[in-house]
Amino acid sequence: MPTLRELAQREEVLAGGHRACVGCLSTVALRQVMASVPGDVVVGAATGCMEVVTTIYPYTSWKVPFIHNAFENVAATVSGVEAAYQALRRKGKIDHEIKFVAFGGDGGTYDIGLQSLSGAMERGHDMLYVCYNNEAYMNTGVQRSSATPFAAWTSTSPVGTVEVGKKDFPKDLTEIMVAHHIPYVAQAAVHHWKDLATKVQKAMSIRGPKFINILAPCTLGWKYPPEIGLDVSRLAVDTCAWALYEVENGKRKLTHRPREKKPIIEYLKVQDRFKHLLKPENQTIVEQLQKGIDERWNRLIGGQASA
């Protein structure tokens, strides 16, 4: 595992001057991932924030080969690139190793791109799929996705006189990927760079399909001041709203356990997408949220214990 200094000294794959928001943590996720991918690599991205801000023609931030096709198909697109590599390598037209990384937001991964992702993972393409998960459709103006937390405000799950944010709990995409029985699945978060880098390095050392779900808080959609983004990320992990774990060849392992499991309200109160939950009449919703988190956390710990 390289030190932070070593990681910071690696050549940036993403050139500055891109158009991400101030305080954007999805770009941080991108840079952290790419800093841990060794050698030659081809990157694909689904339509979404990261594609839009890094490739406005005639400019590009990408110093490695990059392809964007459409919203729902980055996994299929990169499977095509990887298939081309396998074919041309076999025919002796390429003589060196190339790695493949696909990036999608939660919209392009949990929702519209789920079929394409599932297909690519099942077929066993040698690629790392990274979901930069900011828990809503941020690129199009903060609409709810199936990654959006229960009771969160979004543009399409607004807080009104009869409704108080998103009515449904998010789907557990990471576990859906685990159910694909691929060699490596993990959850990571941007504030814990060492954990994230270790996971990416481990993933890249394995041949076959890999999936990493990275929580990437969004100042715009989560409504917190840009300078506290990494603290928000840390709170997500410390309240166990977002668990840092990996499943390597079916073996489940918590990679970080918070010293003290904080109550969910600590996480909610720093984000205005949850500010309606601070009202006394919405306490039952906070309790529901806490219950959901506790259940999932206990399942995760239990699963680890039995593994």
Partner 1 sequence: MTNNKPLETLELPATVRPQRVVALTGNEAVAEAMRQIDPDVVAAYPITPQTELMHAFADFVANGKVSTEFVLVESEHSAMSASIGASAAGARAMTATSSQGLALMWEVVQIASSLRLPIVMPVVNRAISGPINIHCDHSDTMGCRDSGWIQIFSESAQEAYDHTLIALRVAEHPNILLPVMVTLDGFILSHTMERLEILDDETVKEFVGEYHPDHPLLDTKHPVTVGPLDLPDFFFEHKRQEVEAQLAAAELMPAILKEFGTVSGREYDVIEEYEMDDAETAIVVLGSTAGTVKSVVNELRREGRKVGLVKIRVFRPFPVRDLVRALTKAEAVAVLDRSIAFGSAGGPVFDEIRSSFFGGGVSPAEVKVLNYIYGLGGRDVKDSDIRFVYDELETLLHTGETGSAVRYLGLRDSNVEQVALRLEENQ
Residue in 10, 21, 31, 80 binding partner 1, rule: CB under 8 A: 80
21 scored as a contact of partner 1 (CB under 8 A): no
Bridging pattern class, strands 127-133 and 99-105: parallel
42 scored as a contact of partner 1 (CB under 8 A): yes
Closer of 118 and 255 to partner 1 (Cβ): 118
Return d(Cα 209, Cα 182) in angstroms, integer. Answer: 6
Residue in 26, 36, 73, 239 binding partner 1, rule: CB under 8 A: 73
Residue in 76, 185, 232, 289 binding partner 1, rule: CB under 8 A: 76
Output the CA–CA distances (angstroms, integers) from residue 226 to 124, 217, 222, 245, in the order listed. Answer: 39, 10, 10, 26
Query: What CA dihedral angle connects 10, 16, 18 and 24, to 10 degrees?
Result: 70
Closer of 92 and 160 to partner 1 (Cβ): 92
* Contact present, 78 and 127 (Cβ < 8 Å): yes
* Residues 247-276 contacting partner 1, CB under 8 A: none
* Contact present, 218 and 24 (Cβ < 8 Å): yes
301 exposed, middle or buried (CB, 10 Å; 0-12, 13-18, 19+)?
middle
Closer of 62 and 211 to partner 1 (Cβ): 62
Return d(Cα 44, Cα 65) in angstroms, integer. Answer: 9
Q: What is the DSSP string of 151-163?
A: T--BTTB-B-SS-
Closer of 33 and 215 to partner 1 (Cβ): 33
78 scored as a contact of partner 1 (CB under 8 A): yes
Residue in 23, 49, 72, 219 binding partner 1, rule: CB under 8 A: 72
Residue in 58, 259, 305, 306 binding partner 1, rule: CB under 8 A: 58
Sketch the per residue contact string, 95 through 124, with partner 1: x for CB under 8 A, - otherwise: -x-x----------------xx-xxx-xx-
Min dist. Cβ of residue 281 to partner 1 (A): 44
